[in-house]
Amino acid sequence: MTAGAAVAARSSTATPRSIEPWIWAAIALLAVCLHLGRAAVPWAATFPAEWTLPAQTWVSRFVKWLYQDASLGLFTFQELTRGIAWVLQWPLEAAKSLLSTGFERGMGQQAVLIWPPLSWVGVTGVLTVMSCYARDWRLGLLVCGCFLYIAVFGQWHSAMITLSSIVIAVPLGVAGGLLLGILAFRHPMFERAITPVMDLMQTVPVFAYLVPILVLFGFNPVAAMIATIIYALPPMVRNTTLALRRVPTEIVEFGRMAGCSRRQLTWRVMVPAARSGLMIGVNQVIMLSLNMVIIASMIGAGGLGRDVLTALRSLDFGAGLEASIAITLLAIALDRLSQAFAARPPSASSPDEFRPAWRRHPYLLAATSVVAASWLLGWLIPAVQQYPEELQITTGALINETMKWLNVNFFDVIEALKAWVLLNLMVPIKRLFVALPWVAVVAALAYAGWRLGRWRLALLVAALAGFIAVTGQWEKAMQTLYLCGLATLVACALGIPVGILAARHERLNRVVQVIIDTLQTLPAFAYLMPVVMLFRVGDFTAMLAVIAYAIVFPIRYTIFGIRQIDPTLVEAAVASGCTRRQLLWKVQLPLAIPEIMLGVNQTILMALSMLVITALVGTRELGQEVYIALAKADVGRGVVAGICIAFMAIIADRLIQPWVAAHRHRLGIA
């Protein structure tokens, strides 16, 4: 083919650059016309109510049928769910008794305590010993400090209820994820089948699948734990397949040459060789389970989550903040501990293998003796068994006082700030988004899809957007888009410069890394509490919470994008006389753009998931729909709104990913 023919072929498949702005202008013009002429063509401006499909009713009816009539041959679906709940109830009860309530005989008022729970000294001691074993005494100190805080600030009882559900949910999630992951690794068909399901599970906001679980399993701790497991499972599955795939071929070949059977190959060669990758998955399961703690309390989990939720609902910030901090500390302790176990090499070589057992396992011995000693002492000194109430500190009152003082003295300033932003920025943008005619928006999305991925992507994007319109969620979706878009914009505007600075200054980078690591450990709800304390409820508060939650991602991806540039390119630029500014604008940023865009993509996804949680502070978008559905146990309403949010996330993802791929390809770094 000649060069001329090649150019001609390309221009016939791609719109020449020169007319692209005109097409966008035409779409904008269409939007304006449709808006102005909304009296003439009302169906194009706002989606007509009579066209909507009763998807909500269908979903509700289906779940009702599932629950009431569905039969799986030997037993009904209802019996199945009850069976699952019954099986899961036992370990959960046992863990709760062990950690929190103690073992009792009898019911209600007549209950007699026959065996006390592990004392606070015992639990703290065991976890401290585990930390020393997994890494060093510094980690031990950190974990010990976290649990001491929980005891001193009177959060012990709730924290142990939370911990008991984590202790059961995490192993189940890990085991389930591991098995599914191995299956997916072995059978590509199975993998192809579960990948879209997991994609949807990770993009549908958690609240949305709380609703069917609520209906199927009821309002109780077991239902909450099932929700937690489902929520935490997908990353474990993904990590398992990924880690198994990354086991070096030679190791697998060795296993086969050694004559391993399939089972031996999986369990004795591949899984141990994939250990570090699998442990990342375990860590994620722990973190997601903790993230779920507060949310799960909406369908019956007790513990810290419920404390936060109650405090949030009654605007008792002092109590809420303390419980939030307790969750955060629990998360930090478990996160660092599991990471330490992940990074821990197999036990160091000991030349002398014939020492007595207690010499070979000093940590096991220490942990057992801590438990035994605290149990014995617990009988003698009640303070060892239960942290004495008179020594508890509560900052609740202090915080509430401070809040009162802040509100008395700075109410005007805060309110003025809030009102100014709302009036001049948020409300106009919200109006603009809501006024956008749906036909124009779908057209714009489809055109963007066509530009990036031809007909397939155009059709996909238009279909997803169309679903939102057809199910009658358009206006709420636009409100979601406005809040999410604004929050993403602000998060990126703040985060990208911070990322650039950090990438260029090693010292700053170290500080920033510690901060973003900590921020990522915090459960989503923890962001809500302080903002609500200062700004009360409303869109402004929601936006701030979303920004705080999502800002980590533009920072992290920007740093990564700039750092991963081939150092010789930077050296070449410096050698050819670039100033630092030129280096940034002419070399580093253009090369880091793909990673930064992936960061934006992640920010959007995180913002959408956080929006659902901010529904608690009274926004009026899709998240609120899900929240209301949860309160009313209206399955159809919750699921449909949840799917709409997932579709918005998928649209953003599917448009940004090919853009990044194309850009990388152009840079030759595909």
Residues that bind other proteins (CB under 8 A): 248, 250-251, 253-254, 256-261, 264, 268-269, 272-273, 275, 345-346, 349-351, 353
Strands (E), 77-139: 103-105, 112-115
d(CA 170, CA 215): 23
35 CB-side CA count, 13 A: 16
Give the residue with the Cβ less far from other proteins, 111 or 258.
258
Find the shortest distance in angstroms from Cβ 134 to other proteins: 16
Find the shortest distance in angstroms from Cβ 133 to other proteins: 17
> In this structure, are strands 112-115 and 103-105 parallel, antiparallel, or unpaired?
antiparallel
Find the shortest distance in angstroms from Cβ 137 to other proteins: 23
Count the neighbouring beta carbons within 10 Å of the beta carbon of residue 21: 9
Find the shortest distance in angstroms from Cβ 388 to other proteins: 45
Of 11, 15, 12, 20, the residue nearest 444 (C-alpha)? 20
Find the shortest distance in angstroms from Cβ 263 to other proteins: 10
Of 472, 670, 557, 612, the residue nearest 50 (C-alpha)? 472
Count the neighbouring beta carbons within 10 Å of the beta carbon of residue 384: 19
d(CA 175, CA 10): 51
- Which residue type does 243 have? A
Residue matched to tokens 């152009």: 666
Tokens, residue 453: 């991925």
Give the residue with the Cβ less far from other proteins, 73 or 356.
356
Give the residue with the Cβ less far from other proteins, 20 or 253.
253
Find the shortest distance in angstroms from Cβ 350 to other proteins: 6
Find the shortest distance in angstroms from Cβ 349 to other proteins: 4
Give the residue with the Cβ less far from other proteins, 260 or 470.
260
- Asked if residues 317 and 529 have their Cβ atoms less than 8 Å apart, the reply is yes
Give the residue with the Cβ less far from other proteins, 251 or 427.
251
Give the residue with the Cβ less far from other proteins, 259 or 567.
259
d(CA 600, CA 485): 11
- φ/ψ of 462, rounded to 5, equals -65, -40
Give the residue with the Cβ less far from other proteins, 16 or 345.
345
Of 132, 177, 183, the residue nearest 282 (C-alpha)? 177
d(CA 243, CA 252): 13
Q: How far is CA 105 from CA 102, 114, 161, 375, in A?
A: 10, 7, 19, 20
Give the residue with the Cβ less far from other proteins, 16 or 351.
351
646 CB-side CA count, 13 A: 21
Residue matched to tokens 């014995």: 376
Find the shortest distance in angstroms from Cβ 356 to other proteins: 17
Give the residue with the Cβ less far from other proteins, 246 or 665.
246
d(CA 410, CA 429): 27
Find the shortest distance in angstroms from Cβ 257 to other proteins: 4
Give the residue with the Cβ less far from other proteins, 260 or 593.
260
Specify the DSSP class assigned to residue 633: T
Give the residue with the Cβ less far from other proteins, 15 or 261.
261
Count the neighbouring beta carbons within 10 Å of the beta carbon of residue 447: 19
- Asked if residues 229 and 176 have their Cβ atoms less than 8 Å apart, the reply is yes
Tokens, residue 266: 């999986």
Q: How far is CA 629 from CA 81, 98, 195, 637, in A?
A: 21, 35, 27, 6
d(CA 502, CA 511): 9
3-state SS, residue 401: helix
d(CA 116, CA 104): 9
112 bridge partner residues: 105
Give the residue with the Cβ less far from other proteins, 269 or 617.
269
For the chain, the 3-state helix, strand and coil shares in percent, each to the nearest 5, are 85, 0, 15
Give the residue with the Cβ less far from other proteins, 351 or 356.
351
d(CA 32, CA 224): 47
Find the shortest distance in angstroms from Cβ 359 to other proteins: 15
Give the residue with the Cβ less far from other proteins, 8 or 251.
251
